[in-house]
Amino acid sequence: MDAHLLRTFVAVTRCGSFSRAADELGYTQSAVSQHIAALESDLGTPLLSRRPVQPTAAGRRLLEHAGPILVRLAAARAEITRMTQAPPDRLVVGVSPLAFVPEVVGANHVRVLPRVEVVTGVAQGTLDLGLVDGITAPSDPLNLPDVAPLAKAGVAERPLAVVLPADHPLAGRKHVKLADLADAQWIDAPESAIPLAQLRAASGTTGFRAALRYEGTHVPGLLEMATAGHGLALLPQTMVGGLPAVPVTRLVHRVERLTMPTQPGSGRSGVR
């Protein structure tokens, strides 16, 4: 199970086509066909159904491993490259939408990305610094996917608030326990608010089901939908403005700063 083969496998599933994947990877489609055949014979089971090209059950399972493996391979290379070579002159900062803290303003290149991509970006060296947000109990670290060992530091912790319509039974309350809202109607807005998946993970329940999905990073639009009663949304209190919202107990919004464990250029061995 060569890493090379895994790379073409994920490309094929992403493209949904051998030939398009071949173009993307700079192979002939014959080579791609041979790669998949090699993988399938190695694992002893078909990984793709052809025409249309879709992963089988086994293929889907493999996909779940392949991504992290490739990220980690890239991370290993990136880390060593960074140890050996001179630090880059640019400084690219990756930020998840709600992690935009004042610190960022000084950077000369900022990229707003989904949370996972901030983590993988820092790991693979495409980002020099990452700022990710999420929810936790006060002063607990975030539960980030550990695709690679990264240096993490808490940067900010702010209270959370649930945005709700003015006529909601809980409106005007001093605070709420999130657990009491597990069965409410939620809006899943993973880019402009706390993703419900994080809520479930932090609370250990299976509640917090989405009545509605909201894509994009346009927070005002989300706030409008929530106050109009289409569902609840959980955000850092500072982003709610003057709208009707109830502070949340026990959990906070936390921002962490990610870098590679080795400082850039710190280990320039062999250079005199």
Partner DNA sequence: TGTTGTTACGTAAGGCGTAAGCATG
Partner DNA sequence: CATGCTTACGCCTTACGTAACAACA
Binding positions for a second copy, rule: CB under 8 A: 1-4, 43-46, 56-58, 61-62, 64-66, 68-69, 72-73, 75-77, 79-81, 83-84, 137, 139-141, 145-146, 148-149, 204, 261-262, 267, 269-270
CB nearer DNA, residue 21 or residue 74: 21
CB nearer DNA, residue 54 or residue 266: 54
CB nearer a second copy, residue 39 or residue 246: 39
Give the nearest distance from C-beta 73 to a second copy in angstroms: 6
Give the nearest distance from C-beta 16 to DNA in angstroms: 8
- Backbone φ and ψ for 247, nearest 5 degrees, come out as -60, 150
- Give the H/E segment covering residue 151: strand 151-163
The 3-state DSSP class for residue 134 equals strand
- The answer to whether residue 18 forms part of the interface with DNA (CB under 7 A) is yes
Q: Considering CB distances under 5 to 8 angstroms, the limit depending on partner class, which of a second copy, DNA, none binds residue 18?
A: DNA
Q: Considering CB distances under 5 to 8 angstroms, the limit depending on partner class, which of DNA, a second copy, none binds residue 68?
A: a second copy
Q: Considering CB distances under 5 to 8 angstroms, the limit depending on partner class, which of a second copy, DNA, none binds residue 166?
A: none
Binders of DNA in range 139-168 (CB under 7 A): none
Maximum CA pair distance of the chain? 70
CB 189 within 8 A of CB 158: no
CB nearer a second copy, residue 104 or residue 144: 144
Pick the stretch among 36-44, 80-88, 119-127, 235-243 that binds DNA (CB under 7 A).
36-44
CB 36 within 8 A of CB 47: yes
Q: Considering CB distances under 5 to 8 angstroms, the limit depending on partner class, which of DNA, a second copy, none binds residue 35?
A: DNA
CA distance 18 to 121: 27
CB nearer DNA, residue 16 or residue 141: 16
- DSSP single-letter state for residue 186: E
Instruction: Give the CA dihedral 25, 31, 36, 38, nearest 10 degrees.
Output: -130
Q: Considering CB distances under 5 to 8 angstroms, the limit depending on partner class, which of DNA, a second copy, none binds residue 27?
A: DNA
- The answer to whether residue 27 forms part of the interface with DNA (CB under 7 A) is yes
- The answer to whether residue 31 forms part of the interface with DNA (CB under 7 A) is yes
CB 263 within 8 A of CB 217: no
Kindly report whether the peptide bond that precedes residue 165 is cis, defined as omega within 30 degrees of 0.
Answer: no
- The answer to whether residue 51 forms part of the interface with DNA (CB under 7 A) is yes
Pick the stretch among 23-31, 105-113, 179-187, 237-245 that binds DNA (CB under 7 A).
23-31
- Cα distances from 32 to residues 47, 61, 102, 162, 252, in angstroms, run 14, 20, 47, 49, 47
161: left (phi over 0), alpha (psi -120 to 50) or beta: beta
User: 10 Å Cβ neighbour count for 5?
Assistant: 18
- DSSP single-letter state for residue 34: H
CA distance 28 to 202: 46
Q: Which residues in this chain contact DNA in the complex, by CB under 7 A?
A: 2, 4, 17-19, 26-31, 33-38, 50-51, 53
